Chain A
Amino acid sequence: MGEQPSSADTPLWEVVELDQFHTPEQTQASQWRRSLRSASKWLVGKSAAEQQVKEESELRALPEVRLAHLVPPIDWSFAAKALAQQLESCEAPVIFFITPPHSGHTSVVRQWAEEHHVACLPPPTLNELAKGGTEWVERCINQQKWAVPALERHFLRHTQGIQGIREFLERALSGRLGQGVIGCDSWAYAYLQQVIGIDGAPVFTLQSMEGEQLSRYFAAMATHEGQPPGVYSTRTGKQVLSDSASKQNGKAPNKELQRLAAHCRGHIGLAWHYWRERLREPKAEDEEALWLVDALAEAELSADTGDIATLVLHALLLHGGLDDHALGDVLPFSHHEALNARLALQRKGIILSCEGRWQITPLSYASVRQLLASRNYLVDPL
Chain B
Amino acid sequence: MEEQQKYARLFNDIDSQTLITLGVVLLATIVLIIVSQRGLNWIGNRMHGQVRFRIFALVPMTRLLILMTALAIIVPTIIEPSLRNMVTVMGALGLAIGFAMKDYVSSLIAGVVSAVELPYRPGDWVQIEDTYGEVKHVGLRTVDIQTPDDDLVYVPHLKLWDHAVYNANNGGTSLQCVASFYLHPEHEAGWVRKALRDVALTSAYLKFDKPIIVVAEEKPWGTHYRIRAYPVDPRQQFLFITDLTLRGKKVLSAAGVQSAMLPPDAALDTRNAVGSASSRGND
A contacts, CB < 8 Å to B: 42, 157-159, 161-162, 194-195, 303-304, 307, 311, 314-315, 330-332, 374-378
Nearest CB to that of B244 among chain A residues? A332
CA separation between A299 and B51, bound complex, in Å? Answer: 25
- How far in angstroms is the closest Cβ of chain A from B114? 27
Interface contact A376-B232, CB-CB below 8 Å? yes
Instruction: With a 10 A CB-CB cut-off, give which of A158, A332, A374 has the most chain B CB atoms.
Output: A332
B227-262: CB near A (< 8 Å → 1, else 0) gives: 000001100100100110001000100000000000
- How far in angstroms is the closest Cβ of chain B from A71? 37
Interface contact B201-A332, CB-CB below 8 Å? no
- How far in angstroms is the closest Cβ of chain A from B263? 31
* Of B46, B201, B239, the contact of A194 (CB 8 Å cutoff): B201
Interface contact A376-B233, CB-CB below 8 Å? yes
> When A and B form their complex, what is the total count of cross-chain residue pairs whose Cβ atoms lie within 8 Å?
51
CA separation between A307 and B203, bound complex, in Å? Answer: 14
* Of A159, A303, A304, A378, the contact of B251 (CB 8 Å cutoff): A159
CB contacts (< 8 Å) of B242 on chain A: these are 332
CA separation between A117 and B216, bound complex, in Å? Answer: 51
Beyond A332-B239, A332-B243, whether A194 also contacts B195 by CB under 8 A is no
Interface contact A162-B201, CB-CB below 8 Å? yes
The DSSP consensus for interface residues of chain A is: loop
Instruction: With a 10 A CB-CB cut-off, give which of A307, A375, A376 has the most chain B CB atoms.
Output: A376
Which stretch (B55-63, B134-142, B204-212) binds chain A? B204-212
Classify chain B's interface size: 20 to 34
CB contacts (< 8 Å) of A311 on chain B: these are 204-205
CB contacts (< 8 Å) of A161 on chain B: these are 202
CB contacts (< 8 Å) of A330 on chain B: these are 202, 204
CB contacts (< 8 Å) of A315 on chain B: these are 204
CA separation between A159 and B192, bound complex, in Å? Answer: 12
Instruction: With a 10 A CB-CB cut-off, give which of A314, A377, A378 has the most chain B CB atoms.
Output: A377
CB contacts (< 8 Å) of A378 on chain B: these are 208
Interface contact A314-B202, CB-CB below 8 Å? no
CB contacts (< 8 Å) of B76 on chain A: these are none
Q: Is B173 at the interface (CB under 8 A from chain A)? A: yes
CB contacts (< 8 Å) of B236 on chain A: these are 307
CA separation between A195 and B233, bound complex, in Å? Answer: 20
CB contacts (< 8 Å) of A304 on chain B: these are 46
* Of A42, A331, A374, the contact of B49 (CB 8 Å cutoff): A374
Interface contact A376-B207, CB-CB below 8 Å? yes
Nearest CB to that of A375 among chain B residues? B48
CB contacts (< 8 Å) of B199 on chain A: these are 159
- How far in angstroms is the closest Cβ of chain B from A123? 19
List B residues 157-183 near A (Cβ within 8 Å).
173
CB contacts (< 8 Å) of B51 on chain A: these are 374
Q: Is B129 at the interface (CB under 8 A from chain A)? A: no
Interface contact B198-A331, CB-CB below 8 Å? no
